[in-house]
Chains A and B, each alone.
Chain A
Amino acid sequence: MKVRVSVQLKPGILDPQGKAVEQGLHGFGFEVDHVRIGRLIDMDVPGTDPAEVKAKALAMCEKLLVNPVMEKASIEVL
């Protein structure tokens, strides 16, 4: 099954990249606030049961995909 993990910096963790992009957008006259940049990880995970596949993806997050000091993730089975 197709799984999409989106990894975001936790609230309160400084995101200088987001800040720079926000300033860039302001430069074009866009009114935006709280721009945060994250990472999308798409993958094929064997299995047919969405709950089971999601559990596998969660284990992957805990082992490698997410650093809990600074990041949080949400998992979507597509």
Chain B
Amino acid sequence: MRVAVPVFPGSNCDHDALHACGTIMGWDTIPVWHQETRLPENTELVFVPGGFSYGDYLRCGAIAALAPIMADVKRHADSGGLVLGVCNGFQILCEAQLLPGALLRNESLRFIHSEVHLRVERADLPFTRAMKPGAVFQVPIAHAEGNFTLDPTDLVDLEARGGVVFRYCSPKGEIGADHVPNGAMNGIAGIVNVRGNVLGMMPHPERAVDPKLGSTGGLGMFQSLLEAFARA
């Protein structure tokens, strides 16, 4: 299993991604500088990491979406390859139009870092297949722009096609505005494209995979990817 982690100026979760995929999962994980024009051969998963690419200039992710490596990430996605974008990675995938919507400033106007609970809405994806539908898991968030927004009509379409993968919830799995940390529409924490191979999410599963660091709530996603690749 080969994973490519694009690194932009200002990325700061690239090492979390490399640790989770490389050290913890034992996958062949390669950092790829944003100026490169090709992903490593036989890349199966592209992990677009979090951070503040290009200092969040213009809009979060807007400049990174135009980086040379992103053309090959799009090609990879178009040919059915898996792409996972976390936090700033999610913002980049939206700006690159690989995913619908946009991430606005948090409703509170504050940068939020805390543990959240997520409910699994889709457990049939390569990213979630080892999880149960409706299951709840705990992962950290750390962002100032995580307020997911979409045109009302497009939001209806997104929900109707099952595009929502994770929703913020209570520890027991209850949904409601009280459990949404950032004001995201419908409590949306993560979405997937129509084809099911490009997933973006604000929370950080890659920061919750190592018992030594205190939590392992994010492991389910990596076990899912492991299963998906074992079958491929």
> CB distance B108 to A67 under 8 Å?
no
> CB distance B105 to A16 under 8 Å?
yes
User: Which residues of A approach B to under 8 Å, CB–CB?
Assistant: 13-14, 16-17, 20, 64-65, 67, 69-70
> CB distance B109 to A14 under 8 Å?
no
User: Which residues of B approach A to under 8 Å, CB–CB?
Assistant: 58-59, 62, 66, 94-95, 100-102, 104-109, 147, 149-151, 183
> CB distance B109 to A16 under 8 Å?
yes
> CB distance B109 to A67 under 8 Å?
no
> CB distance B183 to A14 under 8 Å?
yes
Least CB distance from A35 to B in Å reads 14
A16 to B95, CA, bound (A): 21
Supposing A13-B149, A14-B147, A14-B183 touch, asked if A67 and B102 sit within 8 A by C-beta, the answer is yes
**Which residue among B94, B108, B109, B149 has the maximum number of chain A CB atoms within 10 Å of its CB?**
B149
> CB distance B105 to A17 under 8 Å?
yes
**Cross-interface CB contact of B104 among A14, A20, A64, A65, cutoff 8 Å:** A14
> CB distance B147 to A69 under 8 Å?
no
Supposing A69-B149, A69-B150 touch, asked if A17 and B109 sit within 8 A by C-beta, the answer is yes
Least CB distance from A41 to B in Å reads 9
> CB distance A70 to B104 under 8 Å?
yes
A14 to B145, CA, bound (A): 12
8 residue pairs, one from A and one from B, having the closest CB atoms: A69-B102, A16-B109, A70-B102, A16-B105, A67-B102, A67-B59, A20-B109, A16-B107
Q: What are 13 contact pairs spanning A and B, CB under 8 A?
A: A14-B147, A14-B183, A16-B109, A17-B105, A17-B109, A20-B109, A64-B62, A64-B66, A67-B59, A67-B62, A69-B150, A70-B102, A70-B104
> CB distance B95 to A67 under 8 Å?
yes
Q: Tell me which residues across on chain A come within 8 A of B105, comparing CB atoms.
A: 16-17
A14 to B149, CA, bound (A): 9
